[in-house]
Structure 1
Amino acid sequence: MRYLIAALTLFIASQTFADGKTQKIAELLKAQGLVDTWAQQIESGKEYNKKISQQIMGQIMTSLAPNADFKSRFDLASEKFIESTIAPWTPQDMITVWADFYGPGFTEEELDQLISFYSSPLAQKEIKVGRLALTNFTKHFQELNQPIVEKATNQYIADLQVIAAECNCAK
């Protein structure tokens, strides 16, 4: 029983330490402006997918003259495509993943120093570790996003083809 209590105490302490470390990393990322950058990247992704949707719709519509009902269905299919390509993670999720890649390189005390003294020699270490973490971080989210966009694109094209066939409105 003593070992169980000791193990539980150690587990709880490690979780508290990890959460504190993650909070410090979040504070550092906010100070560096990275959280805002990630939020902006998520929004840019949404805009890019909207642009892709409009391009595909433009291609489909060059050979169709749908009535109002089918035009509405095409628009709904476009909205469905755009919604299905939205990345399911938030900037907070990205902080957590970044902390997983980045956190092992620093102690809490070092993070405190980075937050307070970003121009110190320790900042040079942060840049080195950050660059390595950024490579893994970027790869992680690119790999996560690829199947989402592929699946949504395939479904979007299939939806448009069904609507076009039912429309029977070729020019």
Structure 2
Amino acid sequence: MRYLVAALSIFVASQAFADTKTQKIEELLRAQGLVDTWTQQLERGKEYNKQVAKQIMGQMTTKLAPNENFQKRFDAASDKFIESIASPWTADDMVAVWAKFYGPGFTEAELDQLIAFYSSPLAQKEIQVGRAALEKFTLHFQQLNQPLIEKATNQYMQDLQLVAKECNCAK
């Protein structure tokens, strides 16, 4: 019985240690601005998915004039698509996974030092400047990539239409 109590005590203590370490990693990630960045990325992903759905819908319905009933069905299909590709993870989920992989590399004392550094005025300035630069950097490449995506999507739609026409397999 004593061994069971000792093992249980060690387990509880290790869980408390892990929870404290995870909390410190979360505090560090917040100080670094990564939690906000991940949250923004998830939101941008949702917006991007909506744009993709709208673009595909436009291409599919360009030669159609659906009545109200069919327009609602098209909209429902679009909503279903957007929902099906939405990320099921939150920024908090990402923190937990990051802590799992990142945590073993640092002691609690080292995490305390990192938190102190990233909470300093200079580090906070670097984070703000870096985030602003990253946003512009990302937008730059998104804009460069957009024509490529549009061209590839158009070609894909044409390829599908050609196959469908050649197939002559409509029900």
**Normalised by the size of structure 2, how large is the TM-score?**
0.67
Give the length in aligned residue pairs: 121
> Which residue does 1:103 correspond to in 2?
103
The runs of 4+ residues in structure 1 deviating greater than 3 Å are: none
Give the gaps of 5 or more residues in structure 2.
Answer: 124-171
Q: How far has the Cα of 1:63 moved from its partner?
A: 2.6
Query: Within 5 A, what are the aligned runs for 1:92-131?
Result: 92-118=92-118
- 2:34 & 2:24 partners in 1: Cα distance? 14
- 1:107 & 1:30 partners in 2: Cα distance? 18
Q: CA RMSD in A?
A: 1.8
- Asked if the contact 2:35–2:91 (Cα under 8 Å) also holds between the matched residues in 1, the reply is yes
- Asked if the contact 2:25–2:103 (Cα under 8 Å) also holds between the matched residues in 1, the reply is yes
- Measured at CA, do residues 21 and 41 of structure 1 come closer, stay the same or move farther in structure 2, by a change above 3 Å? same
1:89 aligns with 2:89: yes
- 1:93 & 1:34 partners in 2: Cα distance? 13
- Asked if the contact 2:25–2:111 (Cα under 8 Å) also holds between the matched residues in 1, the reply is yes
Counterpart residue type for residue 56 of structure 2? I
> Which residue does 1:34 correspond to in 2?
34
**What is the SS of the residue equivalent to 1:63?**
coil
- 2:117 & 2:84 partners in 1: Cα distance? 43
**What is the SS of the residue equivalent to 2:89?**
coil
- 2:30 & 2:87 partners in 1: Cα distance? 21
Counterpart residue type for residue 106 of structure 2? F
- Asked if the contact 2:28–2:118 (Cα under 8 Å) also holds between the matched residues in 1, the reply is no
- 2:65 & 2:49 partners in 1: Cα distance? 24
> Which residue does 2:5 correspond to in 1?
5
Identical aligned residues as a percent: 72
**What is the SS of the residue equivalent to 1:117?**
helix
Q: How far has the Cα of 1:49 moved from its partner?
A: 0.6
Counterpart residue type for residue 77 of structure 1? A
- 2:76 & 2:109 partners in 1: Cα distance? 52
> Which residue does 2:164 correspond to in 1?
none
Higher Rg:
2
- Measured at CA, do residues 118 and 44 of structure 1 come closer, stay the same or move farther in structure 2, by a change above 3 Å? closer
Give the gaps of 5 or more residues in structure 1.
Answer: 124-171
Query: Within 5 A, what are the aligned runs for 1:1-171?
Result: 1-118=1-118
Q: Which moved more, 1:21-30 or 1:62-71?
A: 62-71
> Which residue does 1:153 correspond to in 2?
none
Q: How far has the Cα of 1:118 moved from its partner?
A: 4.3
**What is the SS of the residue equivalent to 1:66?**
coil
Q: Alpha-carbon deviations, 1:62-103, whole Å to 9, x = none? A: 132211100011011111111121111111110000001110
- Asked if the contact 2:49–2:82 (Cα under 8 Å) also holds between the matched residues in 1, the reply is yes
Q: Which moved more, 1:1-10 or 1:18-27?
A: 1-10
Q: Alpha-carbon deviations, 1:38-65, whole Å to 9, x = none? A: 0000001101111110111011101322
